[in-house]
Amino acid sequence: MCGIVGYVGKRSASEVIIKGLHRLEYRGYDSAGIATLNDELNVVKVKGKVGVLGELVRKKKVKGNPGIGHTRWATHGEPNDINAHPHTGAFRRFALVHNGIIENYDVLRQDLEKKGHKFEGDTDTEVLAHLIEEIHELSDIDFFQAVQQALLQVEGTYGIAIIHKYHPDQIIAARKGAPLLIGIGDNEHFVASDASPIIEYTQKVVYLEDEEMAVITSSGYEVSTLKNVPLTKEVHELAMNLEQIEKGGFPHFMLKEISEQSDTIADCMRGRLIVGENRIQLGGLDGVLDRLINARRVIIAACGTSWHAGLVGEYLFEYLAHIPVEVEYASEFRYHEQLIDERDVLIVISQSGETADTLAALRKAKKRGAMVLGICNVVGSTIARETDAGVFTHAGPEIGVASTKAFTAQVTVLTMMALLMGRENGMISDDRMQELTRELNEIPKKVKDILKDTSHIQEIASLFTYAPNFLYLGRSYNFPVALEGALKLKEISYIHAEGYPAAEMKHGPIALIDEHMPVVVIAATDHTNDKMISNVEEVKARKGRIIAISSNGQSKVARLAEFNINIPEVHDCLTPLVAVIPLQLLSYFIAVNRKCNVDQPRNLAKSVTVE
Ligand code: G6P
């Protein structure tokens, strides 16, 4: 989704911004732009890649300071040069970049058009720029107040950064619903939609909250509410470093992140899984565990891959702790939200901690008195800050748009939560706990074993690179893994793929199976194994091309399948953590073979900050 970076200080603003925009590319975008100030307001913007923008900026020798930059992911108006940000208004005295959606832009635009404003493009942001201009030109208030008044008139969400020709050494920033932070340097300051573009310059940040504005100069910053109440903000230390957001010798972030999973799962369990003492310790849930265990209902809400992790969580909570769970798409949760009250607990899962629908679900549940817990990766993110309590996944920054290590870390957290709850409410005996904690502790090593030699998966990938469709089947814990495998393939290789609970295949998808259809069967759970064998037979009888993911013990499935990818044997409830790895790799290799943009797939955004 759109990205913002702004700089004021002694460095070349255009260099800091172009580099920053490259770091923001992972969020997904279709155009990019920059504005800097010297005597003039310089604006350069293009449809397409930051690399092209960088070339233009160099060619045009764009100088000046301060500066703001933007990567745009189109919502209103097609991706083209005109709709790209920054927007300037008619008089070109200021430049504005914006993340989010101005929902009442149409009414505002009609009103401004009646007053004589002419619009070049179709974006809601251009309307905001004209609105600010209109207010400023027609009154004797200063520019900051004009921005403030304009923002009070808009409905929707925004994270904005503005520079003005007559206010050199200054960036105005404001936030409502779209994340924005201020980076604090030594006689230099930054503004950004996330920490990735500023991490190489500073670790100190201030997070803006909704309806807060800031004036940022090279020597400092001042934050106030939209209604002008000055605020003193807490300075946070970032929990990431530059190395974590660079590729480290891998051709793609996605492969780097897949390969990191034995470490990230171990990091996620560190200090929390205490095998010697046969227990789990999750400091983030201290004081809320009773309420969680005794909740009338536990609901998990999330989007995309995080929703798949939530589905695995449902099996884990129900089987291990006997706690019934409902899993909702965060975007659908709003239709059920009126049934929630203080007796319920909502668990939101989000890698970025900024997904708009997940945040909306959180806020709605909170408003109705429910306790809201979070499972987030990004420390300091809005969701992490607004939940009552929660557990961080500690997977490190995930840059590839297709989520991989965040998924396994989320499932690891959910497993630990299920074990903790199951112990607490007496559903897991000492012996069982010992067996499960030992096995969980072994997972990083088993993941490493899968990653050691991926040549077999590469061979299978090359055979099916041009398949137009894929079917993924799984049962029980691995039904969500089938969904996740299909999603990974769709996201990065643009092959149509569907995930199904294996038995449901008979109620529709079986009609699609012929000798051209690759069917990936995740046959790694013991207690459903017999039934899975029958499903595999059904596919085989229709000449489907079976790619099995099975653990060493399950030779029957391996024999029936045309291809078998072995995964180490683990306890049923832990299979998602190992079974998903070959599926991530399969989609990665297929996407590379198809020459797709693996890290930045078309139309997708890493962090979806609009509802
Ligand atoms: C986008 C990303 C997915 C991610 C989903 C939820 O669609 O492309 O990879 O799973 O958002 O994001 P979250 O940050 O809330 O986990």
- pLDDT tens digits, residue range 466-501? 999 999 999 999 999 999 999 999 999 999 999 999
Co-location of 171 and 200 in the same domain: yes
606 Cα: distance to centroid of ligand 1 (angstroms): 6
Instruction: Give the structural domain span for 271.
Output: 250-451
Pocket test for ligand 1, best of 194, 253, 303 (most atoms within 8 A of CB): 303
> What is the pLDDT confidence band of residue 526, given thresholds at 50, 70 and 90?
low
The domain that holds 551 is classified in CATH as: 3.40.50.10490
Instruction: Give the residues across from 528 on adjacent strands.
Output: none
Tell me how far apart the alpha carbons of residues 420 and 429 are, in angstroms, rounded to a whole number.
12
Cα 64 from chain centroid (whole Å): 33
Same domain, 56 and 84: yes
Interval between CA 412 and ligand 1 midpoint (Å) = 17
Same domain, 374 and 309: yes
Which of 25, 300, 305, 378 is the pocket-test mutation for ligand 1 (most atoms within 8 Å of CB)?
A: 305
Q: Are residues 346 and 459 in the same domain?
A: no
Contacts of 357 (CB under 8 A, 6+ apart): 303, 329, 330, 331, 333, 608, 611
- If one residue of 351, 410, 483, 490 were mutated to test the ligand 1 pocket, choosing by the most ligand atoms within 8 A of its CB, it would be 351
pLDDT at 520: 97
276 CB contacts (<8 Å, ≥6 apart)?
none
So what's the pLDDT on residue 552?
65
Which of the four pLDDT bands, split at 50, 70 and 90, describes residue 527? Answer: low
Q: 402 and 476 in one domain?
A: no
280 part of a folded domain: yes
Lowest mean pLDDT among 90-99, 120-129, 436-445, 505-514: 505-514
Alpha-carbon distance 351 to 370, whole Å? 22
Co-location of 565 and 523 in the same domain: yes
What local confidence, expressed as pLDDT, does residue 553 receive?
58
pLDDT band at 140 (very low <50, low <70, confident <90, very high): confident
360 shares its domain with 446: yes
**Does residue 10 surpass a pLDDT of 90?**
yes
d(CA 83, CA 104): 18
Show which of 417, 451, 485 is a domain's final residue.
451
In this structure, are 380 and 477 located in the same domain? no
Tell me what the mean pLDDT of segment 106-118 comes to.
Answer: 95
Mean pLDDT over the full length of the chain: 94
Alpha-carbon span 18 to 540, nearest angstrom: 53
pLDDT tens digits along 146-200 = 999 999 999 999 999 999 999 999 999 999 989 999 999 999 999 999 999 999 9
CA 306 – ligand 1 centroid, Å: 7
Q: How far is the CA of 351 from the centre of ligand 1 (A)?
A: 7
Q: Whose CA is nearest to atom 5 of ligand 1?
A: 304
Q: Higher-confidence residue: 532 or 573?
A: 573
Ligand 1 centroid – CA 86 distance (Å): 26
Indicate whether 428 and 483 sit together in one domain.
no
Which pLDDT belongs to residue 533?
84
- Shared-domain flag, residues 42 and 187: yes
**pLDDT tens, 54-94?**
999 999 999 999 999 999 988 888 889 999 999 998 999 99
Residues with CB under 6 A from ligand 1: 303-306, 350-352, 355, 358, 401-403, 604, 606-608
Active site positions, annotated: 2, 606
